[in-house]
Amino acid sequence: MPTKLSAEQIKKVNTILAHLDVAANEIQSNYESLGIPFDMAKEVVNNLDKTADELEQRTFGLGSLERRQVELLREAKVIQRDGDEPYMVTFENPMKPVQTDADEPYMQAYADDQSSAVETGKSETGRPLAP
């Protein structure tokens, strides 16, 4: 259960969380030039991420962690796919229908990615959330 924090304490925790993220990103991006084996770098990055998640959850509550994860998922993109993986494009917009029938015109309402709108209850496009 998160405790009530002062503005200064919140700022300190956010600074620590930012430093953990920077450290994880640096190790992930530069492990080879640092002479760190991949398996070790992966373990360190995963542990830093886990520590940051636990700190955020204990400090700000589970809701804060879930909101941040939703934001990260919205920013996620497929970096690379093989020619035999056409289905990977569905991860660019997980809400977009893969196939619709002619008698389902309402399915076009899902063509834009409003997955965050489900979390916030606010449209990102100005269109209503439901047709």
pLDDT for 76-127, tens place per residue?
Answer: 665 666 777 776 666 666 666 666 677 877 766 666 655 555 555 666 667 6
Q: Does the pLDDT value for residue 131 go beyond 50?
A: no
Q: What is the pLDDT of residue 124?
A: 66
Contact 56, 65 (CB under 8 A): yes
106 with 71, same domain: the answer is no
Same domain, 65 and 105: no
Domain end call among 42, 57, 75: 75
Tell me which residue range forms the domain holding 102. Answer: 78-131
Residue 114, judged by CB atoms within 10 A of its CB (0-12, 13-18, 19+), counts as buried
Q: Residue 36's pLDDT is what?
A: 92
What global pTM score does this model have? 0.53
Token pair 């289905």 is at which residue? 87
Q: Please give the residue that has the higher pLDDT: either 30 or 94.
A: 30
